[in-house]
Amino acid sequence: MFKQKQWLAVVRGNHWVVAKVARRKLKLDILHLSEFRIEPESEVELNSQEQLGEKELSTKESGQEEQGLNSGKKSDSLKAWLHKNHVPLKNLRLAVSCPGVITRMITLPLMAYQDLNKLLTVQVEQYFTLNISDYVVDYRVLDRFVEGGDIRQRVLLAALPKYQWERLWSEWEEIGFKPKVVDLAADGLARLYSQLTLKGKSHKNTADLEAPLDIAIVELSADRAEFILLEQGVFFLYSDLEVSLDSLDQVRVTVNSKGLGNEQSEEYGDADLQTAKLHAWAKTEVAATLENVLQALSEFFGFFAARHFGKSIDRIYITGDYSDLPFIQEIFQSNLEVFTQVGFPNAWRPRFSKSISILQKNGMKYGSLYGLALREG
């Protein structure tokens, strides 16, 4: 059966995930997947400028030129990596995630496309309380419904800081890339989970399929957590939070190694006691590091409940680089008292090709990528 093949990339700061996928409806095959991280300059190198003497002042004055050179090195590394992975830039579809994105959901009367486009470009500032000239704004029609005998439409507005957009575009130009499709990673997540939670509505056997629920999607990366709420499959709210999760890398490695090392093993003696202490330590570390994330989600859920007559979120789904943290499902569920699942609804998952089948175990990390694959047009 025919499957549409496409090249996709999700960009978060210096982290790129690129994949070649084949899709037919909700069936997704991952044919190739590779990740690239541009390492930032070390703090030692950056702080060394503070100790410069008079002879080195000229070097400081030429800092802009040095920054250009550093940027050039990053671009060269990225370009070489893309070439190594045979990525066709001309056909690459892109999703970006960056701080400062603001969303609004508005309801409008049904109108012609030209009128809607004019309203949400020329007159869009009426829907924001900030200086919208500092942002790049796009929109998407979420759904249409009947209210009081009239057809109305829900529209999602997304505003990305203009300086972020200009920086991204400059980086792309340096590698000779002018993307035709740029999506927001958060919108891709909303698209993916919306379609997956609604897919069973017309299915003959619905016994094992979830009904449309009010859900929260949490994407965890090293420096940011992103939250999306869906009201019965329709985008409701988005927010993000600056975090620092890379400190949990060692916790993850230690637990996955299933041991504490020979020296500590002798100290604890009994293997069951050793395992119990390891698990207790890991839970404490993960819960403490995620404290701000859990608090932000609790407030987020309170906002939702206040607008839904006290009704809470039905389910939490976790994706992203740090969705495989040990005991994360248990920690979210016990702290927020909401059923939590790592991965995707209805036991859905993409199929990784044989050559990269080892990546299947990490498939829950790439929700934004899958959401981009489901984008039409």
Tell me the Cα Rg of the chain.
23
Percent of the chain scoring above 70 in pLDDT: 83
Structure confidence at residue 116 (pLDDT): 95
Q: What are the Cα distances from residue 1, in Å, to 22, 23, 173, 349?
A: 11, 10, 37, 19
In the chain the domains, ranked by start, together with CATH numbers, are 4-40+71-245+290-373 (3.30.420.40)
Pairing, β 182-184 against β 92-97: parallel
Quick: pLDDT tens for 101-132: 999 999 999 999 999 999 999 999 999 988 99
> What is the helix (H) or strand (E) element at residue 367, kind and residue range?
helix 367-373
Pairing, β 4-12 against β 92-97: parallel
Q: Is there a contact between 15 and 98 (Cβ–Cβ < 8 Å)? A: no
Does pLDDT of 61 surpass 50?
Answer: no
Q: Is there a contact between 32 and 117 (Cβ–Cβ < 8 Å)? A: no
72 vs 272: CA distance, rounded Å: 53
Name beta bridge partners: 22: 5, 29
Structure confidence at residue 1 (pLDDT): 53
pLDDT tier at 340 (50, 70, 90 boundaries)?
Answer: very high
Structure confidence at residue 71 (pLDDT): 66
Quick: pLDDT tens for 74-107: 889 999 999 999 999 999 999 999 999 999 999 9
**Position with higher pLDDT, 11 vs 202:** 11
The pTM of the full predicted model, rounded to 2 decimals, is 0.85
At 197, phi and psi to the nearest 5? -75, -20
Q: Which of 247, 207, 243, 203 is nearest to 223 (CA)?
A: 243
Tokens of 167: 């920086």
Does pLDDT of 133 surpass 60?
Answer: yes
For helices 271-289 and 249-256, the axis angle rounded to 10 degrees is: 160
Three-state DSSP class for residue 342: strand
What value does the mean pLDDT take over residues 340-356?
95
pLDDT tier at 66 (50, 70, 90 boundaries)?
Answer: very low
226 vs 241: CA distance, rounded Å: 6
